């Protein structure tokens, strides 16, 4: 009887370990897709995001009243990968373009392209992959968009899956 109980215990531990390792592997293979106006799509894995130039922003956390440091890639840099017109090349007709960010839970927010353009505003909307140097937990990540200039965190999307450039009619 003890042998059977011991075997069940070992099998349970092995299953738990496999689940943890599978979750970590799945997290490393997580990706986001960025889509341009022309329908072109680029998918970025966490590893590819880590290889890009990193920025950091502080985000006020009202509970408790502290600031958290997030690290990742500026949203405008990802948009440039799908030929988004940004910077001095931005034309008046481009000012009706907007970016829709969607999370795994269906939550969606938008940013006007002009908000992301450094020649018009000094916003640093971040596609965050870590917080205080550690990977984002499952509740927030593995990818989160942070809008540090907003007074409320309503446009800080957790569990980001897609970022799509659109044009208002």
Fold of 31-167: Sulfite Oxidase; Chain A, domain 2 (3.90.420)
User: By percentage, how much of the chain surpasses pLDDT 70?
Assistant: 78
The band of 49, judged by pLDDT with boundaries at 50, 70 and 90, is: very high
Q: What angle do CA 114, 111, 68 make, to 5 degrees?
A: 110
The DSSP bridge pattern shows strands 31-35 and 66-74 to be unpaired
| Nearest CA-CA partner of 125 in 114, 138, 135, 115 | 115
Please write the tens of the pLDDT for every residue from 85-135: 776 666 777 788 999 999 999 999 999 999 998 888 888 999 999 999 999
Whole-prediction pTM value?
0.78
The residues spanned by each domain of the chain are: 31-167
């Amino acid at each position: 009887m003890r042998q059977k109980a011991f075997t069940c215990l070992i099998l349970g531990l092995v299953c738990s370990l496999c689940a943890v390792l599978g979750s970590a592997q799945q997290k490393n293979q997580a990706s986001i897709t960025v889509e341009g106006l022309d329908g072109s799509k680029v998918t970025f894995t966490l590893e590819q995001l880590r290889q890009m130039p990193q920025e950091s922003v502080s985000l006020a956390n009202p509970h408790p009243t502290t600031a958290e440091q997030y690290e990742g890639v500026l949203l405008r840099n990802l948009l440039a990968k799908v030929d988004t017109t940004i910077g001095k090349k931005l034309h008046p007709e481009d000012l009706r373009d907007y970016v829709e960010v969607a999370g795994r839970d269906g939550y969606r927010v938008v940013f006007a392209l002009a908000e992301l353009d450094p020649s018009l505003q000094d916003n640093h909307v971040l596609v965050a992959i870590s917080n205080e140097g550690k990977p984002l937990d499952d509740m927030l990540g593995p990818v989160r968009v942070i809008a540090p200039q907003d007074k409320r965190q309503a446009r800080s999307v957790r569990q980001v899956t897609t970022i799509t450039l659109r044009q208002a009619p």
